[in-house]
Chain A
Amino acid sequence: MTVVAERPAEQADPSPSTTRAGSGRRAKAPRNVSRWLLPLWATLVFVFLFLPIAVVIVYSFNVGRLLISWDHFGFDSFAAIVTKPAVRDAVLVSLRTGLIAAVLATALGTLAGIAMARTPGKWVPWFLGLLLLISVTPEIVDAVALLPWVVFLGQDLGLSIFNDGTVRLVIGQSLFSIAIVSYIVRARLVGLDAKLEEASADLYAKPFTTFAKVTLPLAMPAVLAGFLLSFTLGLDNTIVSAFVQVSGTTPWPVYVLSALRSGLRPEIAAVSTIMLVLTLGALALVALVLKKAGDSAADIARTMAGG
């Protein structure tokens, strides 16, 4: 390593002529791989990744009875969002529960993340283990576990709050989000020295003042990113929501899931297109917040992949 570091910069990247004799012919194949094959492969994969999304966007302008069979171009499906109460209500339920769940998950996750970063101890591995367990449990298992539980709490124990559709959806959507927010906030604070908080305490700030004026602002980029990711996750939550929902508060993805059986109509694609734009906006905000906070592309990728 030191040898490399001491070499003059212009020699660090040897030109092809200086490569070891005899390996010249063999080196040609890798160069072709990196020059042509890899970019070509990446392009194909990007086309693959965007193909269905593009198809949904195009088909959102389909004026026909069924989404799948193209009739002709028009904006009827977008108008239907406003005029059809079922569609509009489902979207509103999603936005509302997504927002509440995101606020809740951000509050709990931020507190937990700060606690993990600033009071390390034997409990941290346990808590991290629990968060890991939550993030690896298949959603369908969460769903079938939560349904009997809320029914038990609401009907057998008579805690009527658990019969409320919004409450149930918020609970279901919050679990995974709490794990994500805790990871992100912890990762950010672990990377920052606790000296500022110690200084604040030394200057006779009360613990709460230190928390509100020093710790929280330090964690803020992670908190914001966590909030937006939670909101997006809440909007997308399908499986758990499908199980715990109460008729009357059907969130958007569950509406789509049930429409699968009765026949998909173009307004589903129209709402999806609008949601896509919303999600992109939220993601761009997350990336911007993280970049302002000094994260590299790799850090942002790690955060977005869920810690």
Chain B
Amino acid sequence: MRKLRIRFGLALPAWVWLLVFFVVPIGVVVWYSFGYKPSIFSTNANDKLSFDRYVEALSPTFFATFQNTLWVGIAGTALCLIIGAPVAYWIAVKCAPSRRGMFLALVMVPFWTNFLVRTIGWQIILAPEGWLSHALQFLGVIPGPLGILNTRGAVLLGVVYNYLPLMILPLFVAFDRVSGPLREASKDLGAGSWQTFFRVTIPLAQPGIIAGVLLVYIPLMGDYITATVLGGAKGNMVGQIVASQFQTAQNWALGSAMAVLLILTIALSIGVMAAIGWLVTIPIRRSYRLTLEDAR
């Protein structure tokens, strides 16, 4: 019993550290969000509590940013899934096993390259006076300089690029888990390749798919760097307006309310997605049950 207590104590420093520098600060932000900004010279006050900052944060100017962020978040995550799934499947199942490690490393290198630097790489590529713009004009693909930088399209491209490895890695782990024998068994029992893919591989890889979607969607919704580097004025994301409330406007109360709303938006949209996913897969799950019973 005494030994147990000593061992539990090993986690104590981490508990304390995380409570003091994570839980308490987040709590303070929630507290600030009910306050207000009393004058130009102070950032916040909490002597009168209200939901006014939330109302302000959802006023038309800022609400458009929330909508835009949701759009980029959902479209970006979907694109990551569509682009990443075949790659993960190929590395886990179809490519030569001896090369698997190398291809995985190729996915990880961009992921571990500085986020800001990768994004600046895209800024160089997409610049109206950059080489891609010149090449495309020379080839006659576009009439004038490339105008994608500082648009929502550039932000979407940037987030898909930045978060794609976060989709491929968990998907790879999931597809890898659905090991060869199971798929062989499916084939031996008379299923075609497509049937094996949709009835064995995909259902068994589902946890990995969910993990990948969450790993991409959550940080993407809070993204600040991609939008700042590639988005310009038009590509505003919530992360940017939260930052500007703290850094330039010095309105901590409003910024806090926005940060809380951002977290709520993420949590709520994940809930909605989970519900939709559950509803959509009802007929599929039912058909499985039927075929299983038929087989019996």
Contacts and interface: CB of A to CB of B under 8 A. Distances in A.
A144 B256 contact: yes
B218 interface: yes
A115 B90 contact: no
A217 interface: no
A172 B219 CA distance: 17
B117 A56 contact: yes
Nearest to A104: B17
Contacts of B263: 137-138, 141
Contacts of A50: 106, 109-110
Contact of B169 (A37, A38, A48, A305): A305
Contacts of B155: none
A264 B120 contact: yes
Contacts of A97: none
Nearest to B27: A145
A139 B94 contact: no
A149 B21 contact: yes
B24 A239 contact: no
B108 A111 contact: no
Contacts, number: 296
A69 B131 CA distance: 9
Contact-residue bracket for chain B = 35 or more
A141 B255 CA distance: 10
B210 interface: no
B246 interface: yes
The secondary structure that dominates the A interface is: helix
Interface string A40-55: 0110011011111111
B266 to A, nearest CB: 7
A302 B18 contact: no
Nearest to A300: B104
A109 B14 CA distance: 7
Interface string B155-175: 000000100111001101100
Nearest to B172: A301
B285 interface: no
B41 interface: no
Contacts of B242: 140-141, 144
Interface stretch (B53-61, B220-228, B276-284): B220-228
A111 B124 contact: no
A115 B224 contact: no
B109 to A, nearest CB: 7
Contact of A140 (B83, B111, B161, B259): B259
Nearest to B246: A144
Contact of A138 (B123, B164, B169, B219): B219
A145 B185 CA distance: 53
Contacts of B14: 108-109, 111-112, 127, 178, 182
Interface in B1-48: 3-4, 6-11, 13-15, 17-18, 21-26, 28-29, 32, 43
Interface stretch (A75-83, A84-92, A271-279): A271-279
B52 interface: no
A67 B185 contact: no
Interface in B242-280: 242-243, 246-247, 252, 255-256, 259, 262-263, 266
Interface in A122-149: 123, 127, 130, 133-134, 136-149
A112 B10 contact: yes
Interface string B176-198: 11000100110110101110010
Contacts of B187: 14, 19
B169 A148 contact: no
17 contacts: A14-B187, A20-B190, A42-B90, A52-B122, A59-B124, A68-B127, A112-B13, A138-B218, A143-B243, A145-B25, A145-B28, A148-B28, A149-B28, A201-B3, A253-B116, A283-B108, A300-B104
Interface of B: 3-4, 6-11, 13-15, 17-18, 21-26, 28-29, 32, 43, 83-84, 86-87, 89-91, 94-95, 100-101, 103-125, 127, 129-131, 161, 164-166, 169-170, 172-173, 176-177, 181, 184-185, 187-188, 190, 192-194, 197, 214-215, 218-219, 221-225, 228-229, 239, 242-243, 246-247, 252, 255-256, 259, 262-263, 266
Interface of A: 1, 3-5, 7, 12-14, 19-20, 23, 26-27, 29-31, 34, 37-39, 41-42, 45-46, 48-56, 59, 67-70, 107-109, 111-112, 114-116, 118-119, 121, 123, 127, 130, 133-134, 136-149, 152, 171, 174-175, 178, 182, 201, 207, 232, 235-236, 238-239, 243, 253, 256-257, 260, 264, 268-269, 272, 275-276, 279-280, 283, 287, 297-298, 300-302, 304-306
Given A243-B243, A287-B101, 11 more contacts: A49-B110, A49-B165, A138-B239, A145-B22, A146-B21, A207-B6, A257-B228, A272-B114, A297-B100, A301-B169, A304-B169
